[in-house]
Structure 1
């Protein structure tokens, strides 16, 4: 009878699994099919779907070839990697979209790693729950089934691991030489393991959750049937378990063999549990790596510097250091981006690595506006944190970052200054260039102009602005509608939505996993890509692929302040590059000394550094006509300015794998003249001083 019941349960379980799997697969196929049908009838999607297999950005060690500007300047490490990748099989490429591996403890967590971010986020969010609780409650109830199903497999995995970690140390300890060999093997295969993408999408998680639920249910039914059909065996098993549990609680001699080692001691003496614990501690199969992880994985040096602005915001300035060089480049990201954008294309294709290989000390700036919301006031509410506009980016964030760069470089180069340089009145023994994209370009222009108005040094030698913001009167219909809505509803929306971001870890995880599903199901991803492109006026940037980048993860994510969006709408309405309009003549008078906000375009004559403007012919977010408007005003004001166009969309300036832009940017950087010490050398400089 027991065998018959077992056979019936086994057949039933497999039937239920098959039916459930096929039902889920049919639903997914239906969604993918409907998406493909919509794509077939939607107009204007031909150019959007050209790169359908490249949506999930996969920067690799192997480029098509070394760019011309890197033939003599590439570091020995990068040359070795490139030659190795050329000789290897094409299927062994290493991508950035990999999930968490067992070797994640090799590199330390960055200052904004997930544990610190979560703790900070939890401390900040608790002060703002009352305002957003209603909306969170609605979304939580809508997605409660999905949330429940997604969490089941991870709970069971953690439970299994906790049972494993309680095994006595004698059963898991390894000889020291074996542990060292294992660690060496991990280091050797580090990059090979990264080639496998272990990130799972929502559909894959649902498959896993359904399988675990079915297994658990039928296991319970099987045990219940066994108890009913064999009560004597069940009673015997229960009594054995009861008596063994009772005997384990009795006192035993201290030196007996039943002594056990606490689980907490295992991680201190043996590294194996720690490595596995790291794997389980990571986010739920999402890619939560930081810019530090990407840089160090590729063998480059890394340094994190915390910068505090005058109004108390704590920013992360990241660095690929060359401490002895006098050539410095500062890269500043745009809206809804972070420093990750400058390194996301790997060794061959990323502006940050290209500049480092050309001998530059590279600094990667991060503007305020992350979900982690770092501020010296730990009790600051969400509404207070997000109350800033582009004004604060240009007058608070960038000044603090550049002053920190100046402090670091002057301190490092102070000991190497020659007698000639000590007599020079200029206190800046280095040349600082800035490469800025989109919103970062508008912020750096605002910084230079305001510093010149206040007669303060801006410390910059050259600006390279990639599709800079500032002028937006020529834009798509969708942007025009959003502009009118912002300006009309601003008094109502500002108190309700201080910033546009995903507030909870679950929904951020959901977005990260959906980006994986968009890659697995091309028609669905194509539909999302098309709709996003429609919203931005037909821009063909890799919108879906960018959503899968690591900085859009469950622990932290870039956001947009409501007042930043309102500021952009004000610029579009005015048709000018203006500072933030505070809404009343009295408020503007207090800030600017006039009833109207400052028109920065009228002060372009104060710019005293060369500027290179770059526009994208396919850019529909900031159209080439708007970049040319910057160029015309600068040229008429006497600024040393150049203008160039590439066949790029808006995001291609940071995420494209093509080399022509990098070649152009590096050529503009090399136009900056070196310092006197670099021109003559210490001995020749002294001779020149004597001749004078």
Structure 2
């Protein structure tokens, strides 16, 4: 609007009955150049109109698709998307990261996206959506405009959302979930589920963690300076939901198109780690059709608490409320030693959100880690697990190899991993 206002102002000045001023003429020419450059950039930028809804993307790629709405024990209505497999196919559940939704698993397209690669291998592929994102913004009694709706973090996602998804899938298929694959928060919530709801964890044969964000105190990303501000921001502006609506997505998408690949990429690299060679600018623009997908402020505050405390523990409500809820002044730790599911950890050496020190601490805390796999790319960052140009080769080939093993305990020697823990004194 300001740009249009300047254009009109300059145009008006040009029609005054006074002698023209060189400065005005130069300003007019400059504004026109900026205006037409911006207009041409927007019109010449090719956006994929089909990159909006998960089912449409799956159908366009040539796969069958289903959508199932399920209810959690606390009344949230979640959407599960599915690429059904054939008779005898093994069920697999993919779970997204913070502010994402099921579309992230299919947006890279056929031959690249993990969901399609799994479907091509004959798996029954399920794509989850956590409460609060674009596909899971309903409740049996609460409106999403009600602040109570947003009173959750990844704690509730682990205690309620994942049990609802896993129970639905296993009941429908009459067999255990073959593999759960979680990226970042998708892994965090699984650890909570497996430690707090062991009866649900027994329905899962194997879990694959992609850049799990459970222990964060060695984080090097600038996010570490923003996390402590989350509580203050919520209190000052009375925010419950991150304001990540269609207008925000529209502005981000076109700002990225106008700014150019380098600037847009560097913003992401600042938070996730630098990896220009694997950055796919077109894929990013497509993803901004549905990202950010929404979430609660409490989720960010919970991550902030984990970062600052150095402990993977439940939400900290403050001393008084903690005493009422937990019967303790401090929130209790999640007992990761309770997790019996076979787990494989993937990490990137260029990931500034999940540091290798924290990753190794996690591997030494979990009792049944079968492998810790470093992606063979020196700058592989946090976002690369989904959007890297070569993610299919660098990550997904290894994922499929692990899943094909009849016995996940044969992936590697857990004794070797524990020996490394002792050596590192972790």
What do you get for the CA RMSD once the two structures are aligned? 3.2
Q: Hey, what's the Cα distance between the residues in 2 that align with 1:482 and 1:612?
A: 30
Q: Hey, what's the Cα distance between the residues in 1 that align with 2:149 and 2:143?
A: 10
- Pick the aligned partner of 2:356 from 620, 624, 633: 624
Structure 2 partner of 1:665: 399
Relative to its length, the structure with more strand (as a share) is: 2
- Pick the aligned partner of 1:480 from 210, 214, 224: 224
Q: Residues 575 and 393 from structure 1, CA distance in 2 versus in 1: closer, same or farther, beyond 3 angstroms?
A: same
Structure 2 partner of 1:552: 289
Retained in 2: the 8 A contact 1:349–1:656?
A: no
Structure 1 partner of 2:33: 26
- Pick the aligned partner of 2:240 from 498, 501, 520: 498
2:365 counterpart of 1:633 = yes
2:262 counterpart of 1:526 = yes
Structure 2 partner of 1:567: 302
Q: Residues 544 and 388 from structure 1, CA distance in 2 versus in 1: closer, same or farther, beyond 3 angstroms?
A: farther
Q: Residues 207 and 616 from structure 1, CA distance in 2 versus in 1: closer, same or farther, beyond 3 angstroms?
A: closer
Q: Hey, what's the Cα distance between the residues in 1 that align with 2:62 and 2:82?
A: 14
Q: Residues 370 and 604 from structure 1, CA distance in 2 versus in 1: closer, same or farther, beyond 3 angstroms?
A: closer
Deviations 1:624-646 (A, max 9, x none): 22212211222xxx424310111
Retained in 2: the 8 A contact 1:307–1:316?
A: yes
Deviation of residue 598 (structure 1)? 2.4
2:238 counterpart of 1:509 = no
Greater gyration radius:
1
Q: Hey, what's the Cα distance between the residues in 2 that align with 1:543 and 1:205?
A: 18
Deviation of residue 356 (structure 1)? 1.3
Q: Residues 551 and 434 from structure 1, CA distance in 2 versus in 1: closer, same or farther, beyond 3 angstroms?
A: farther
Deviation of residue 371 (structure 1)? 4.9
Deviation of residue 619 (structure 1)? 0.8
Q: Hey, what's the Cα distance between the residues in 2 that align with 1:598 and 1:539?
A: 37
What runs of 5+ residues in structure 1 fail to find an aligned partner? Answer: 1-18, 31-201, 209-283, 411-428, 675-692
Q: Hey, what's the Cα distance between the residues in 2 that align with 1:631 and 1:308?
A: 33
TM-score computed with the length of structure 2 as normaliser: 0.78
Structure 1 partner of 2:197: 451
Retained in 2: the 8 A contact 1:439–1:468?
A: yes
The 3-state SS of whatever aligns with 1:500 is coil
The 3-state SS of whatever aligns with 2:222 is helix
Q: How many residues align?
A: 375
Q: Hey, what's the Cα distance between the residues in 2 that align with 1:21 and 1:317?
A: 54
Relative to its length, the structure with more helix (as a share) is: 1
Deviation of residue 604 (structure 1)? 2.5
Structure 2 partner of 1:577: 312
The 3-state SS of whatever aligns with 1:316 is strand
Structure 1 partner of 2:165: 401
Retained in 1: the 8 A contact 2:73–2:160?
A: yes
Structure 2 partner of 1:441: 187
Retained in 1: the 8 A contact 2:193–2:200?
A: no
Larger RCO, structures 1/2 (Cα 8 Å, 6+ apart) = 1
Q: Residues 532 and 323 from structure 1, CA distance in 2 versus in 1: closer, same or farther, beyond 3 angstroms?
A: closer
Q: Hey, what's the Cα distance between the residues in 2 that align with 1:402 and 1:29?
A: 52
Aligned counterparts, 1:358-373, within 5 A: 358-371=121-134, 373=137
Retained in 2: the 8 A contact 1:467–1:613?
A: yes
Deviation of residue 366 (structure 1)? 0.8
Q: Hey, what's the Cα distance between the residues in 2 that align with 1:612 and 1:543?
A: 27
- Pick the aligned partner of 1:296 from 56, 59, 64: 59
Q: Residues 502 and 305 from structure 1, CA distance in 2 versus in 1: closer, same or farther, beyond 3 angstroms?
A: same
Q: Hey, what's the Cα distance between the residues in 2 that align with 1:289 and 1:309?
A: 26
What runs of 5+ residues in structure 2 fail to find an aligned partner? Answer: 1-25, 409-426
